[in-house]
Amino acid sequence: MVDVARRAGVSLKTVSRVINNAPHVQQQLVDRVLAAATELGFRRNHLASSLRSGQATATVGLLIEDIANPFYATIAGVVAEVARQHDTLLIIASSEEDAEREERLLRDLCSRRVDGLIVVPAGYDHAFLRPEVELGTPVVFLDRPAGGLLADTVLLDNRGGARAGVQRLIEAGHRRIGILLDSIGVYTMRERLDGAQDALAAAGVGYETRLVRDGIRDPVGAAAAVADMLDRPDPPTGFFSLNNRITLGVVEELWRRRSDAALVGFDDFEVAHLVPRPLTVIAYDTRALARTAAELLFQRVSGNPSWPRTIVLPTELVERGTAA
């Protein structure tokens, strides 16, 4: 910038004014400076700018589990789009469900002075973020609540959705319902399981531990669990799967056996209408979820100081034929 100033025969400050097209600069000088800048290949240093002005790195951080997962990729896409509307770039970091790594990444993002953070938490303690929040970095939690920190949060109605799904199976006459979940350690899984239990209890159907399978990581594991349950005495006549990876495995196994057991799955997925039997699922609007969080964040960034909110978005039972 000092070089540009010398070349244009003006002061450093005038160059700064031109670059930021501030008012009160003669057109003639503007032209001279611009010419000098392009001749010298001037490249503004965004770092120095945000260092000096103290705020506005025009960057927000998004912390998720795994960017390659379509759910998070959708979220990232929406957040990036909202960010773009605010002329802001997005740093995306994946925690891989590791609380320690999550903390490291969040601290790193803060040390980069991001204007705000959207976090899908992996850990259970986010108290370490309190200083940052108090010093003015807004944080919005997405899909799961924060631990030990009062902050804006946008959630799905996991419990209500699961309740509706299991209720539907019960209405169709099922009493032995196999429930498959990823990990009871994950907030959404706990909520969904609670919802399923709500529905069972409300219908006076007993909750049988043998019908609940935890720790199912992938479609293969799901298929194996289904096979095992079906091969035992008093097999389930219906299945409730708590996420779409599991649902996929259940579908595969049922199809392999030509079983007509009922199935309701949490999470919709793109090819749900293409698989052998069209699937009944608990669907929700992932994009709306992300958009809500992102818009809330940018409200905070632009200074809305109201009390932290928790927003719960609805889920919907989409019937496509496998509930009966």
Q: Which is nearer to its own copies, 92 or 172 (CB)?
A: 92
270, 114 Cβ separation under 8 angstroms: no
* Runs of H (alpha helix) within the chain: 2-8, 12-19, 27-39, 46-53, 70-85, 99-111, 130-134, 158-171, 187-202, 219-231, 244-257, 286-301
Which contiguous run of DSSP H or E holds residue 61?
strand 59-64
The whole-angstrom distance between residue 212's C-alpha and the CA centroid of its chain comes to 26
The whole-angstrom separation of Cα 114 and Cα 1 is 25
Total number of residues shown for the chain: 324
Binds 20, which of DNA, its own copies, none (CB < 5 to 8 A, cut-off by type)? DNA
**Binding to DNA by residue 87, rule CB under 7 A?**
no
The whole-angstrom separation of Cα 294 and Cα 290 is 6
**Binding to DNA by residue 2, rule CB under 7 A?**
yes
Task: List Cβ neighbours of 68 (8 Å cut-off, separation of 6 or more).
Answer: none
Phi and psi, residue 238, nearest 5°: -145, 155
**Binding to DNA by residue 52, rule CB under 7 A?**
yes
CA-to-CA separations, 145 to 91, 155, 209, 301, in angstroms, rounded: 21, 8, 27, 20
In the bound complex, what is the minimum distance in angstroms from residue 55's beta carbon to DNA? Answer: 9
Binds 23, which of its own copies, DNA, none (CB < 5 to 8 A, cut-off by type)? DNA
Q: Which is nearer to its own copies, 2 or 135 (CB)?
A: 135
Binds 89, which of DNA, its own copies, none (CB < 5 to 8 A, cut-off by type)? its own copies
Q: Which is nearer to its own copies, 143 or 157 (CB)?
A: 143
Which contiguous run of DSSP H or E holds residue 152?
strand 152-156
**Binding to DNA by residue 20, rule CB under 7 A?**
yes
**Residue ranges binding its own copies (CB under 8 A):** 41, 43-48, 50-51, 57, 59, 66-70, 72-74, 76-78, 80-81, 84, 89-94, 105, 108-113, 131-132, 135, 248, 251-252, 271, 274-276
> Pick from 31, 35, 39, 48: which binds DNA (CB under 7 A)?
48
Q: Which is nearer to DNA, 19 or 288 (CB)?
A: 19
Binds 24, which of its own copies, DNA, none (CB < 5 to 8 A, cut-off by type)? DNA
In the bound complex, what is the minimum distance in angstroms from residue 255's beta carbon to its own copies? Answer: 8
Binds 183, which of its own copies, DNA, none (CB < 5 to 8 A, cut-off by type)? none
Binds 77, which of its own copies, DNA, none (CB < 5 to 8 A, cut-off by type)? its own copies
In the bound complex, what is the minimum distance in angstroms from residue 42's beta carbon to DNA? Answer: 7
Task: List Cβ neighbours of 289 (8 Å cut-off, separation of 6 or more).
Answer: 75, 142, 143, 154, 156, 313
Give burial (CB, 10 Å; 0-12/13-18/19+) of 278.
middle
Q: Which is nearer to its own copies, 170 or 272 (CB)?
A: 272
Residues of the shown chain interacting with DNA in the complex, contacts defined by CB under 7 A: 1-2, 9-14, 16-17, 19-20, 23-26, 28-29, 42-45, 48-49, 51-54
